[in-house]
Structure 1
Amino acid sequence: MIRLESIGKQNGKQIVFIEASAALQKGEKIGLVGPNGAGKTTLFRMITGEEQPDEGQVSVDRGIQIGYFSQDVGEMAGRSVVAETMNGAGPVSELMAEMRVLEADMGDPDKADEMDAIIERYGEVQARFEELDGYSLDGRAREVLDGLGFSQEMMDGDVGALSGGWKMRVALARILLMRPDALLLDEPSNHLDLESLIWLEAFLKNYSGALLMTSHDREFMNRIVNKIVEIDAGNLTTYTGDYEFYQQQRAIADKNQQAQFERQQAMLAKEIAFIDRFKARASHAAQVQSRVKKLDKIDKVEPPKRRHTVAFEFRPAPRSGDDVVVIKNVDKAYGSRTIYDGLDFHVRRRERWCIMGVNGAGKSTLLKLVAGDSKPDNGTVNVGASVKMGYFAQHAMDVLDGDRTVFQSLEDAFPQAGQGPLRALAGAFGFSGDEMDKKCRVLSGGEKARLVMALMLFDPPNFLVLDEPTNHLDIATKEMLINALRQFEGTMLFVSHDRHFLAELSNRVLELTPEGVHTYGGGYSEYVQSTGQEAPGLRS
């Protein structure tokens, strides 16, 4: 269906692709992986024709309809959410729009002379509209929007009133409703809660067309894709299997290449030693020349490319008291909407609570109450003795000083720390070399999240309160964070929609439901076993 043949592409001084080739066939579901900046979005844009390769060619079979979801959703205003969704659904929405125009023309006395042609055209358009199941479009649009977390009230409301994250969902709904022959999805799992993520997973599993997608959610990727295409140093390498299998194969390939490289280096060292030893002796001139020529002809084995991930280790945090947070009889409402009515909740030292609940259940509100960012209407929230809290929230990224660089931000926060430890800290969170000199205002969402995390964890708290800490992080940084938090000796209270993060780090679950609060003594994996569902909103 879609082929990339010997692609070459350069952006400014950066070489993105060198003679790279890959293909997407009918029915394949491919995960596109590679470090940030490797060229994943460039690849999508070349397939859609928004960018052209410098060399080679991108070919798409005739008649193939492509749906492309990117993080850049554009302007949305002046329509209801459901109308905006239907408007982007490709040929069906275009036919619907033409039918409306023709219906108006049929009622226009000024167009009496053209009536036969108008009626004939209306018959053609209506027949094609029925063929594409157009009359069910509204129902199908509402079904997709419901799956992505929209209430009926939101569907009929003004799309322009939505936040950026909800507009992303509308843009995604438009592409899914289109049901094109090939779906290109650039980070579709961003901005989705767990229920919507699981719905999307099921939708994509049952989708009959070809799929090429990127995602920072390894669990989501594992359950959908049957192939991985890796972008690395300008090359495209295809692996058959899910993301887990790709990781195993990649590790084996790296190990084999390293062994091959070391064997060749040992052989080269022996040959060079022989040449150096005997090059001045006439009696060995022929042998020396023969070996020099042999070395010139050898195909050099490159060492495997190193993934620059640095481990982050917590310095020992001060010990807190046994009672970290005690919440008693708390009421909280926003206007007429009650969030909590007499909430009781107790967090003890070294417990790691993940909070589960549908959108609007009060997950972030609970974290704000604990962090002191919000006050209860009634009741008490008491943080225990010797508790040193680290609070990560989405708004924390907005308080970075845009005029300071990454390294200056770390120096401002820890003036006594010294350059060495701060450079190691920056490296652990993915900032090395010139990246440390980037101004905060030009950082991406993921870079800001990493910097805020680094600022929070360097002088270690003994109680971490984390609201969607992995939202903007790539898979490698998430893995580093999970490994670091596994070693963390303190207490945790967190909200996340990343199932791998939930399963690896929680040892308690607090579930917020309309019927009340439920607690589970094991972590997220035990919660799934106990309830039979991966998220509260999926329970019947």
Structure 2
Amino acid sequence: MLRISDIGYSVAGRSLLEGASVTIPAGHKVGIVGRNGTGKTTLFRIIRGELGLDTGEITLPAGAKIGGVAQEVPSSETSLIDTVLEADTERAALLADTSQDPTRIAEVQARLADIDAWGAEARAAQILRGLGFSHEDQQRPCSAYSGGWRMRVALAGVLFAQPDILLLDEPTNYLDLEGALWLEAYLAKYPHTVLIISHDRGLLNRAVGHILHLADKTLTYYTGGYDTFAKTRAERRAVQAAAAKKQDLQRAHLQSFVDRFKAKASKAKQAQSRVKMLERMETIRAPEDAARTVFTFPEPEALSPPIVAMDNAAVGYGDRAVLNRLNLRLDQDDRIALLGRNGQGKSTLSKLLAGKLQTMEGRVISSSKLRIGYFAQHQVDELHLDETPLDHLRRERPTDAPPKLRARLAGFGLGADQAETLVAKLSGGQKARLSLLLATLEAPHLLILDEPTNHLDIESREALVEALTAYTGAVILVSHDMHLLSLVADRLWLVKDGHVAPYEHDLETYRQSLLGTEPKAAKPAKPKPKQLSQDQIKELRSEVKKAEARVEKIEDMREKLAKKLADPALYEDARIGELTTWQKKYAEVMEGLARAEDLWEKAQAKLDAARP
């Protein structure tokens, strides 16, 4: 059991934790969430004993081993498999024991058997394979890999060592979709306690059973995954807001009586009584809403379809083709997610679409007016650390006045303070925002995003979803965030074995196929419908948009009714009839929402079936 008791911690005069307490039973899988800058990573450092507390204490189980991913894996000549095996220091020490004492030899052998030392290499290889390393890769030295890949090796090492309390800080930031899904499944079965800082909703819904929320300098423990936490917290905030509003009305009523009658002798006692009631009344504070995260993408003008068409194209590096026989088409309203294991060519296809690679065979035909925005993971690292965000924008827009440049920065959540802060001092999320702004500055007709959510908190990811949904250009998306993919992409392309083809199933089926849990008896594929004309496809798209509008309208009604039902005053005996009426209306709206969503799904299915 991990016990955090009334802890307080401040840095540079700023308090991060005050009177925070929580008890985490052994074996619990816990996701730690909170806005960037609230102190989640600091909490990990406190648990590891790297930082001293101002107040309170942390109690760990006797003899418990705490493990986390090292910040950097040395670029050594040791093979990947041996690096991971060395992470289990107890096993390494036992194997290195050269004692000749028979009793000691027996003790060593018994302990090696207890920790399954002889099956260790197979376990290490399985973990490395899950994180994207083939058998051949595992024999290569660490020095053959970049920093991001070495971080995967560090993650493999700590998973192999199996500490009693495993601390993971944004582990999916350096994983692709396949690695992230494997990690989800692995953590769900991990035999000990797991604390994981993450902004990945899929992981927080499937790999953990509890959420620890760090906000307002305190800790709150919730049972369930992230979606359950979000719903429970929203309900609590609605009740709290309603209670605060009700109390404000009570205060106003009491104060009005005092103000009216405090000077009248006949009412003096009653007025004094109400003054005492006001003094005793413990203030219920309405929950404070943090500043809403936003992204504002400029709108491109419409181009005639298709904006990009590939005719039997091949692309690769040097003389080696990575992708062949590409016959693909992009329209301006496409939202396409690229699926495929690491190394299959997703980034190669992205670079071809972005014009950063040329075809080896065939051709790519693009609209003459096509503008392309490209965001890749490494672009955050290419920002000028000794310049401010304002400097970056000034270079791209030298004739724009400073207020206009600041407005652009504000449209991506970079306020006045960040505008003139050196990039070196910005957080990872703020750097990602700046890179996204630079990628979309020219109002691109095609936006290519390669892992755009790394370093973004959950609120920022939701804002990105909203921005991409409203965006009128085409989107090509590569991401390990299945929540983002499911909300943004309406088409899936699978990059595999040198080819790119539409993926006929959904994301959940793809997830199951990666984990080896897909249904064994697949239904036979339906015959493809007859090719429709562009006018017919436009009609289907119009039908989908109308259906979406219906769903949004009813969803707005549902939210208003939910807020109404969250009012505690509605549950008083005198208003029970009114409560019944509102509950009936809510049930009717929910029925209407189900019908509207069914119509939308059917319209979307028709459109998907009509696309090439």
Normalized against structure 2, the TM-score is what?
Answer: 0.79
Map residues 95-494 of structure 1 onto 2, 5 A cutoff. 95-96=94-95, 98-99=96-97, 102=98, 117=101, 121-276=104-259, 287-335=270-318, 337-410=320-393, 412-414=395-397, 423=406, 425-457=408-440, 459-494=442-477
Secondary structure of the residue that 1:452 maps to in structure 2?
helix
Q: CA 1:152–1:217 in 2, change beyond 3 Å: closer, same or farther?
A: same
> RMSD in angstroms over aligned alpha carbons?
2.7
Residue 5 in structure 1 maps to residue 5 in structure 2: yes
The question of whether the paired residues in 2 share the 8 Å contact of 1:48 and 1:66 is answered with yes
Distance 2:103 2:191 in 1: 35
Deviates most, 292-301 or 57-66: 292-301
Which amino acid is the alignment partner of residue 205 of structure 1?
A
Unaligned runs of 5+ in 2: 521-612
Deviates most, 482-491 or 370-379: 370-379
The question of whether the paired residues in 1 share the 8 Å contact of 2:371 and 2:442 is answered with no
Residue 526 in structure 1 maps to residue 506 in structure 2: yes
Secondary structure of the residue that 1:361 maps to in structure 2?
coil
Structure 1 residue 95: deviation in Å? 1.6
Distance 2:113 2:328 in 1: 56
Structure 1 partner of 2:598: none
Which amino acid is the alignment partner of residue 460 of structure 1?
A
Secondary structure of the residue that 1:17 maps to in structure 2?
strand
The question of whether the paired residues in 2 share the 8 Å contact of 1:358 and 1:537 is answered with no
Q: CA 1:131–1:233 in 2, change beyond 3 Å: closer, same or farther?
A: same
Structure 1 partner of 2:43: 43
Q: CA 1:289–1:406 in 2, change beyond 3 Å: closer, same or farther?
A: farther
The question of whether the paired residues in 2 share the 8 Å contact of 1:468 and 1:497 is answered with yes
Distance 2:255 2:261 in 1: 10
Which amino acid is the alignment partner of residue 150 of structure 1?
F
Secondary structure of the residue that 1:27 maps to in structure 2?
coil
Structure 1 residue 67: deviation in Å? 1.9
Structure 1 partner of 2:85: 86
Deviates most, 424-433 or 338-347: 424-433
The question of whether the paired residues in 2 share the 8 Å contact of 1:353 and 1:507 is answered with yes
Q: CA 1:156–1:74 in 2, change beyond 3 Å: closer, same or farther?
A: closer
Distance 2:517 2:416 in 1: 46
Q: CA 1:534–1:325 in 2, change beyond 3 Å: closer, same or farther?
A: farther
The question of whether the paired residues in 1 share the 8 Å contact of 2:172 and 2:480 is answered with no
Structure 2 partner of 1:496: 479
Normalized against structure 1, the TM-score is what?
Answer: 0.88
Structure 1 residue 315: deviation in Å? 4.5
Structure 2 partner of 1:107: none
Structure 1 residue 463: deviation in Å? 1.6
Distance 1:255 1:450 in 2: 31
Structure 1 residue 269: deviation in Å? 2.9
Distance 2:34 2:141 in 1: 37
Q: CA 1:382–1:537 in 2, change beyond 3 Å: closer, same or farther?
A: farther
Aligned residues: 519
Could you tell me the percent identity over the aligned residues?
A: 37
Which amino acid is the alignment partner of residue 55 of structure 2?
E
Distance 1:180 1:219 in 2: 24
Structure 1 residue 295: deviation in Å? 2.7
Distance 1:271 1:418 in 2: 54
Distance 1:38 1:375 in 2: 45
Structure 1 partner of 2:575: none
Q: CA 1:127–1:76 in 2, change beyond 3 Å: closer, same or farther?
A: farther
Alignment partner of 1:516 out of 485, 490, 499:
499
Secondary structure of the residue that 2:453 maps to in structure 1?
coil
Distance 1:533 1:233 in 2: 38
Which amino acid is the alignment partner of residue 202 of structure 2?
E
Distance 2:427 2:516 in 1: 31
For residues 47-89 of structure 1, the C-alpha deviation after alignment (integer angstroms, 9 at most, x for no partner) is 222222211110011122222236x235342311111111112
Q: CA 1:133–1:77 in 2, change beyond 3 Å: closer, same or farther?
A: same
Q: CA 1:384–1:18 in 2, change beyond 3 Å: closer, same or farther?
A: same
Residue 29 in structure 1 maps to residue 36 in structure 2: no
Secondary structure of the residue that 2:219 maps to in structure 1?
strand
Secondary structure of the residue that 2:124 maps to in structure 1?
helix
Secondary structure of the residue that 1:167 maps to in structure 2?
helix
Unaligned runs of 5+ in 1: 104-115
Structure 1 partner of 2:67: 67
The question of whether the paired residues in 2 share the 8 Å contact of 1:31 and 1:214 is answered with yes
Structure 1 residue 277: deviation in Å? 5.0
Distance 2:403 2:243 in 1: 35
The question of whether the paired residues in 2 share the 8 Å contact of 1:319 and 1:386 is answered with no
